[in-house]
Structure 1
Amino acid sequence: MTTTVLIPTCLIPRNVSWPLLQPLSILSKPQNAAFLSYSHHHNHHKNKLIPCSISEFDLSPPPIDHDFLDTVKSSGAEVSGDGIIETFHNDDEALNAVHNGVAVVDLSHFGRIRVSGEDRVPFLHNQSTANFECLQAGQGCDTVFVTPTARTIDIAHAWVMKNAITLVVSPETCGPIIEMLNKYIFFADKVEIQDISKQTSLFVLVGPKSNQVMENLNLGDLVGKPYGTHQHFNVDKQPVTIGVGNILSEDGFSLLMSPAAAPSVWEAILTEGAIPMGFNAWNKLRVIRGRPAPGMELTKEFNVLEAYLWNSISLNKGCYKGQETISRLITYQGIKQRLWGLHLSAAAEPGSIITVDGKKVGKLTSYTSGMKQSEHYGLGYIKKQAASEGDTVIVGDNISGTLVQFPFLSQQRPPSSTTTS
């Protein structure tokens, strides 16, 4: 017997049994909505995410608590008391997938900030380093929040939506950034800041086969689009926004959704062959890719240009917080040090002094081991004139390190007139 129903633009994982589909609402087709005609019988079906035009990203809380973390716990994952999926006990497999396949990571503990109101664009334009006034709805960028003296607070990934701008920030900086932004809202400003971290879930795809996963889920329109490009979809009337880029790089994809939609989206991605990655492996990957992090590379000790975040900085927009310092550093070539990746000969402690010919030239800020016991990676700040790419330095007492351009750092494009090596 075959039963045909109309399901509002939804995701139905492959090989899923009918009872799991019962929570999906069976409704009449409203205007301006995309629908999938789903015929159910005992054979398996290949079903996909279907695009839908929605008026705006509704961020009201889900009606019930979702059970996504319970689901991954039952599959053997270790989850911290803070709700962070630390490991699936497959860290090496997941890191290998980053190079040869695709990995999916739950980053729902990261911060999400929604900036709305008529003045949201000029407000963020003035409060961070990117040029928001040149962006249209559906586009995105990285921007950096800095102190008035251009010391780094955090990198934020921004999605410019129709009626709001959504920022993804590090877990530890979400609260301080919201507090800081609220302080700069003046009486006449039409700006509202909301912490939507608890009302949303965030997954990212990493690896060369990310594009294939998108194609298989009927999301191929996003493949090949510029970094930050994003579109809205519906999963059982719950909003899902999918964008190009994955925090660590301009490749891969990010998926922002209602917690109620998270289990189905996660299962569908796994069904397409993605390997689940825990946050322990993600932290390794962060160092190997060369992305600076708050408390490590992004501190009040270093400014935004030393952190080598050129892609996030507009050099030709008007006044913004930290702009005078940044302009002065560039004009007078005042950048004294910069962030480098290091291939290390052994494990090293963050905070270790870096020397050349016995003279202190910098400091190690992050370390991680690789998949092999012989692989050791680090990030650190080095004085400009002390060493350049390919040179050897000494970390700590006797650990040698070779300066390299890790992927995130090599993607940064400083102005040609500025000496940055």
Structure 2
Amino acid sequence: MISELQNLQASTGAIFEPLSTGEIIPMTFGNDPEAITATKQGVGLYDRSHWGLLKLSGEDRLRFLHNQSTNSIQTLKPGEGCDTVFVTSTARTLDLATALITEDAILLLISPNRRQHLIQWLDRYIFPMDQIQLQDITSDYAVFSLLGPDSPTILNKLGVTDLQQQPYGCHQLLEIAGSTLRITVGSGLATLGYTLMIPASDASSIWQVLTQVGAIPFGEAVWQHLRICQGRPVPDAELTEDYNPLEAGLWQTLSFDKGCYIGQETITRLNTYKGVKQQLWGIRLNAPVSPGTLIWSDEVKIGKLTSYTNTDGEHFGLGYIRTKAGGVGLKVKVGEIEAEVVDVPFLRHPPL
């Protein structure tokens, strides 16, 4: 069970803190610098069990999700998956999710603080004639991600070779240490890796197996550092009703030829008429700055900082910047702090 997992994590140095949603999660294992290095040179292990996991079943499930999010879902086959964004009718962002297609369902991995909101939001669009069942199965599973160049080696040690060289989102049910679990290509970041969905009763044994073969555990503090440095946007920071997926750099989640879906008209118009007025970028800073601080260029306000980290001794953030102001290489001030706009691997920007 999850409590057994937390006891195991505590025995290896995990320090727990509550989220605003109430879940108690490992914030750090007391090894943050080592763990960051592991994601670059070895393999790190992140417990994502506090993220939301939803299940869509019923004959209309593909059509339903296709019509409720930005990517092309109906073209996917069992064993495939993709990232997709839920947006409002005016294309304002709700959440970035990963959708996995199985033989009889769609699994949706969503952000921790969007679980209840998305359940209610999706339920609003299920009509009486729709053959759709929506379930919250978060508590039934643990979710772990392996991140780093040695992730394939870790799986090899456990006898898993089928997923190497497979594209992002591909997934299979496989057996490890007597447990049947789903392994998906993709770490949740631009870093090479895999995500594992494990029955909750087997969570502690799989965690122990993964650490025994060399995965370095890390907590939420390192995850937040990594996602900011790589540019993964999150709800309440970069994903809010102030921004749309094109501005948020999530072009890889958008299908422009899939037909109608919620927010499609606005997204198509912005793309067709090059109407993206602001874009999300990495910001290399000379000193600490609080999220929400305004960004300036030549004494003109051009944007706002949305996230900040300095875990490895360097000051770095994410921020939205007016498109006409420029992009990579632009020198700016964030408040009174000098900074430079840089590219980050998770984000895409409008094609020239």
Q: TM-score range by the shorter chain?
A: over 0.9
Shift in CA distance, 65/394, structure 1 to aligned 2, threshold 3 Å: closer
| Counterpart AA for 1:351 | G
Counterparts of 1:5-404 in structure 2, within 5 Å, are 67-81=4-18, 82-234=23-175, 238-249=179-190, 251-372=192-313, 375-397=314-336, 399-404=337-342
Q: What SS does structure 2 have at the residue aligned with 1:222?
A: coil
Q: What SS does structure 2 have at the residue aligned with 1:218?
A: coil
Instruction: Report how many residues are paired.
Output: 348
| Counterpart AA for 2:342 | V
Question: Any conservation in 2 of the 1:214–1:223 contact (CA below 8 Å)?
Answer: no
Q: Deviations over 1:282-315 (max 9, x none)?
A: 1111101110010000000111110010000101
Q: Deviations over 1:361-393 (max 9, x none)?
A: 000000000413xx1110000001112211111
Question: Any conservation in 1 of the 2:2–2:142 contact (CA below 8 Å)?
Answer: no
Q: Distance in 2 between matches of 1:285 and 1:363?
A: 20
Question: Any conservation in 2 of the 1:66–1:259 contact (CA below 8 Å)?
Answer: no
Question: Any conservation in 2 of the 1:158–1:168 contact (CA below 8 Å)?
Answer: yes
Shift in CA distance, 225/378, structure 1 to aligned 2, threshold 3 Å: same
Shift in CA distance, 98/325, structure 1 to aligned 2, threshold 3 Å: same
Q: Which has the larger radius of gyration?
A: 1
Q: Deviations over 1:58-84 (max 9, x none)?
A: xxxxxx665111111122211224221
Q: Distance in 1 between matches of 2:327 and 2:27?
A: 36
Shift in CA distance, 106/347, structure 1 to aligned 2, threshold 3 Å: same
> What TM-score results when the alignment is normalised by the length of structure 2?
0.96
**Structure 1 runs not aligned, ≥5 long:** 1-63
- CA positional deviation for 1:235: 5.4
Q: What SS does structure 2 have at the residue aligned with 1:276?
A: strand
Q: What SS does structure 1 have at the residue aligned with 2:162?
A: helix
Question: Any conservation in 2 of the 1:238–1:260 contact (CA below 8 Å)?
Answer: no
| Counterpart AA for 1:115 | L
4+ residue segments displaced more than 6 Å? none
Please name the residue that 1:405 is paired with.
Answer: 343
**Cα root mean square deviation, aligned:** 1.4
Q: Distance in 1 between matches of 2:295 and 2:38?
A: 33
Question: Any conservation in 2 of the 1:290–1:379 contact (CA below 8 Å)?
Answer: yes
| Counterpart AA for 2:131 | K
Shift in CA distance, 347/66, structure 1 to aligned 2, threshold 3 Å: closer
| Counterpart AA for 1:97 | A
| Counterpart AA for 2:6 | L
Question: Any conservation in 2 of the 1:364–1:395 contact (CA below 8 Å)?
Answer: yes
Question: Any conservation in 2 of the 1:142–1:158 contact (CA below 8 Å)?
Answer: yes
Question: Any conservation in 1 of the 2:63–2:73 contact (CA below 8 Å)?
Answer: yes
Shift in CA distance, 357/350, structure 1 to aligned 2, threshold 3 Å: same
Q: Distance in 1 between matches of 2:9 and 2:246?
A: 40
Q: What SS does structure 1 have at the residue aligned with 2:290?
A: coil
Deviates more, 1:247-256 or 1:197-206: 247-256
Shift in CA distance, 334/86, structure 1 to aligned 2, threshold 3 Å: same
> What TM-score results when the alignment is normalised by the length of structure 1?
0.80
Q: Deviations over 1:219-275 (max 9, x none)?
A: 111111000000002457754100000111262000001111111111111111111
Q: What SS does structure 2 have at the residue aligned with 1:134?
A: coil
Question: Any conservation in 2 of the 1:121–1:133 contact (CA below 8 Å)?
Answer: yes
| Counterpart AA for 2:338 | S
